[in-house]
Each structure stands twice: as structure tokens, then as C-alpha cells.
Amino acid sequence: MSRHADTPGAVDGKLFVVATPIGHLDDLSARARATLAEVDLIAAEDTRHSAALLRHHGIGTRCVALHEHNEHEASAELVRRMLAGERIALISDAGTPLVSDPGYRLVRAARAAGIAVSPIPGACAAIAALSAAGLASDRFVFEGFLPAKSAARRARLQDLRAETRTLIFYESSHRIVESLRDLVLELGDERKAVVARELTKQFETLLDGSLAELSQRVAADANQQRGEFVVLVSGADDAEVAAKLADGRRIYAILSAELPPSRAAKLAAEITGAPRKALYAG
């Protein structure tokens, strides 16, 4: 177990992981603002981007960059500073650091060095979207960004066919049309879904409907392809998954007598909609 700064003899420095707004600049909590104003240093994903937020809130604390390309070296230096007693806040460009954002290496290194790490919670696009989507929210899975290339994206979605929890994805304007198309191809026309766009911003839009309806709607309207997106999709129906799996296993048994197991599983999955991995663990 690592030492903790609240225990006697532990280090004085501390790392605050501070959530910042996902659009509306006023979605910064009072505690986040006070923390950012009081720390010795802010480690920001993009110092120029964060300057606007800090200026808006009258915060003059010095910033250094911590992004995916320098996280390793920057973390070592920040840990050294905290071991010397400095209090540092980590922020990303939007929302909660570490959620599809850098920071994991710094948090891990700080904890390993016995430095206390404290979250200052706030906005997160996935949770904001879930809170307003009206899809089952008791159990959900956050899948982050889907792969950029269609073949890899479809393979990932095939593995999610039997997932019964609500699925949450992040998506960018470059790929929203293609990703919705692949969601329909892999998960079918009928699942209920929500496309949450530009949350907390001027053009905030939450569209709901079946996957097929949403895919068509977004593809047909250039305005609905602009900005930042969270895509939420209802999980698979338990009974439907069980039926597809039974079909998949039957077809796999027939095909695997003639074909290599991986090929048989791929075909059985394509024919029945059963998840390939559940048919063949190879």
C-alpha cells in the first residue's frame, strides 16, 4: 500500500485531479476554481486552450503542459516537485482528466510515490449525456472512442453485440456518420439510441430514435454532423442474446466440421449475429 499524505511522515505535496467544463465556461465548481487558484502549478493538456477558462475565472496560476506525447517525462518532473512539497492541479481540455484524456501515468506515478491524489469532480460528457438520454442508466459501459478504421470499428462492435448494458461512445465530427452506419450494420436497425451533440454549448442537441433512424437523420443533415458527440445505445435484450447464441453455436458446430475454427466462428457470427468470441475463443 502506498503512503498517504494525510498520514504522519508522508509527503506534503498533493495532486488534485480537477474536472473543467465540457463547453459552458460556468460549469466549473466553486471548489475547482478555488483549487486552481491556490495550487502552485497547473498541469494542463493544452496550456493555450486552458488559458481562456483560467482567464474567464480570474485564475493566474502558472501552467505547464502535460499531454499524451510528453506525459512520461512531464510526470517524472511533476512528481519530483510534489515530493518537494508543491501542490499541483491536473486539468485536461474538457471535462474529467483521464476520461479519454491524458493523466493516467501522472496519477499512477504520484500514488506510487506516496503523494495524495484527490479528485475535484465535475463535468464529464459521458455522464452528462447519460443523465439526459432516458436510456437505462443503472448499468452502463463506457467504450470511449471506437477505432478510426471501419474494419477495426466493426470488429469492436461485433464483440459488443451481446452486451446488455447501455453502451456509451465518444465520437468526433469526422466520423459520426460512418460510426452510426457501422453501429446499424453490427447492432441492427432497432436498438434505441441517443446522439448527444455539443452538450452545454449553443447548439446542444439530443436526438433519440432507433439506430437506423438516427443514422439516416444525421447523414442527411450537415448541421447534425458538426461539433462533439456522445452516442448512447441500449444494451442487447437478454432473451435475444440467448437465442442468437444458441443459433450461433448450432451453425458453428456444423461449419467447424468443414472449416478451421476461426473461419467457422466468423461465418457463424455473421450469419446469426452471435458474438464471435462467445463461439470460439481463438
State the distance between the two ends of the chain, measured CA to CA, in whole angstroms: 37
Of 278, 205, 37, 235, whose CA–CA distance to 268 is shortest?
278
- Rounded distance between C-alpha atoms, residue 61 and residue 30, angstroms: 16
Report the DSSP beta bridge partners of residue 116: 14
- Rounded distance between C-alpha atoms, residue 134 and residue 216, angstroms: 21
Q: Answer for the pair 189, 130: CB distance below 8 angstroms, yes or no.
A: no
Q: Which residues within the stretch 73-92 sit at the binding site for ligand SAM (CB under 6 A)? A: 92
| Contact region with ligand SAM (CB under 6 A), list: 81-89, 157-165, 166-174, 233-241 | 166-174
Does residue 171 belong to the site contacting ligand SAM (CB under 6 A)? yes
Q: How many residues bind ligand SAM (CB under 6 A)?
A: 24
Of 13, 95, 103, 114, the one binding ligand SAM (CB under 6 A) is: 95
Query: To which H or E segment does residue 207 belong?
Result: strand 205-210
Of 140, 170, 252, 280, the one binding ligand SAM (CB under 6 A) is: 170
Q: Which residues within the stretch 26-45 sit at the binding site for ligand SAM (CB under 6 A)? A: none
Shortest-Cβ-distance residue relative to ligand SAM: 95
CA distances from 243 to 150, 246, 247 (A): 27, 5, 6
Of 152, 157, 119, 118, whose CA–CA distance to 141 is shortest?
157
What single-letter DSSP state applies at residue 90? E
Of 27, 101, 190, 213, the one binding ligand SAM (CB under 6 A) is: 101
Does residue 96 belong to the site contacting ligand SAM (CB under 6 A)? yes
| Contact region with ligand SAM (CB under 6 A), list: 122-130, 153-161, 213-221, 264-272 | 122-130
What single-letter DSSP state applies at residue 106? H
Of 86, 198, 208, 240, the one binding ligand SAM (CB under 6 A) is: 198
Of 3, 57, 111, 201, the one binding ligand SAM (CB under 6 A) is: 201
| Contact region with ligand SAM (CB under 6 A), list: 31-39, 168-176, 210-218, 246-254 | 168-176
Q: Is 282 exposed, middle or buried (0-12, 13-18, 19+ CB in 10 A)?
A: exposed
Of 29, 118, 164, 200, the one binding ligand SAM (CB under 6 A) is: 200
Does residue 99 belong to the site contacting ligand SAM (CB under 6 A)? yes
Which residues of the shown chain bind ligand SAM in the complex (CB under 6 A)?
A: 22-23, 92, 94-96, 99-101, 124-126, 170-172, 196-201, 228-230
